[in-house]
Amino acid sequence: MADSLIIAGREFRSRLILGSGKYASFELMVKALEASGTDMVTVAVRRVNLGDRTKESFLDHIDPKKYHILPNTAGCYTAADAIRTAMLAREVLDNNWIKLEVIGDERTLFPDNQGLLEATRELVREGFVVLPYFNDDLIVARRLIEAGAAAVMPLAAPIGSGLGIQNLTNLRILREEINEVPLIVDAGVGTASDAALAMELGVDGVLMNTGIAGADDPIAMAEAMNLGVRAGRLAYKAGRIPRKLYASASSPLTGAIE
């Protein structure tokens, strides 16, 4: 597969990963996933609603053979909770991949890096493929890689904020310094140009949820993100022109009529 995204030895055609939350209906979610071209979708782990038996289950709508299911530890504020959630997630589909979130603050949903590192170490020891969400800190990234993370996922901006990449400089540094595992931007993407910009910087992939699910027309936005990620990737690989302060004529300087 040409230019595929490879995480823990597994190939993905698409460099866009989607979350499955906040959709108005399962039907809409399925269509958005389709339009996005994604190969991988994150899911949360929650109690079965025993009181309301009419509620359909996520797996009724998403075929694990078509999409790689990536359980997450959304809503976990401690390493212990995240580890426990990951273990439960693994039991559902015998799938040892986990998108690890250990949250440190309710308003910003910024990660608790200490808890994150602890949980990463423990889950790697338990044989999980760990994809941690963190802030764009190079040192934390290195620690996560040392701990055995299969990819590192810096936030562009707070989850659901739609602000796009807030710290371009940091992200560029991360891209230059990290080559052991894929670098995937996660959180804060608002529109297609945000995703394209991330890919133009050379990151390996983008993960988003609210940017699509919260759009007026999620299916159209999913397609936009699909194109944005692909455009950004192509542009990155094409090798852009340098930025110059002054003009550089495109037409020959000689042979003009006088």
Partner 1 sequence: MTIVVNGDQTQIAEGSGISDLVKSLGLVTERVAVEVNKRIVRRADWSSTTISEGDRVEIVHFVGGGEGDCD
Footprint on this chain of partner 1 (rule: CB under 8 A): 18-23, 26, 29, 42-48, 50-51, 53, 57-59, 69, 71-72, 74-75, 84, 87-93, 101, 103, 109, 133, 159-160, 186-187, 208-210, 213
CB of 65 to partner 1, least distance (A): 13
CB of 121 to partner 1, least distance (A): 20
Select which of 22, 31, 66, 99 is catalytic.
99
Residues in the chain: 258
DSSP string covering 130-199: EEEEE-S-HHHHHHHHHTT-SSBEE-SSSTT-----S-HHHHHHHHHH--SS-BEEES---SHHHHHHHH
Retrieve residue 185's tokens: 């931007």
Residue closer to partner 1 (CB basis): 26 or 236: 26
Whether 237 is catalytic: no
CB of 215 to partner 1, least distance (A): 13
CA dist., res. 171 & res. 165, Å (int): 8
Phi, psi values for residue 205, rounded to 5°: -170, 170
Other Cβ atoms less than 10 A from the Cβ of 144: the count is 28
Phi, psi values for residue 5, rounded to 5°: -90, 125
Residue closer to partner 1 (CB basis): 192 or 212: 212
Phi-psi region of 37 (alpha: psi -120 to 50; beta: other; left: phi over 0): left
CB of 149 to partner 1, least distance (A): 17
Residue closer to partner 1 (CB basis): 6 or 59: 59
Burial of 10 (0-12, 13-18, 19+ CB in 10 A): middle
Residue closer to partner 1 (CB basis): 102 or 200: 102
CB of 2 to partner 1, least distance (A): 29
CA dist., res. 143 & res. 196, Å (int): 28
Residue type, 199: M
Give me the active site residues, please: 99
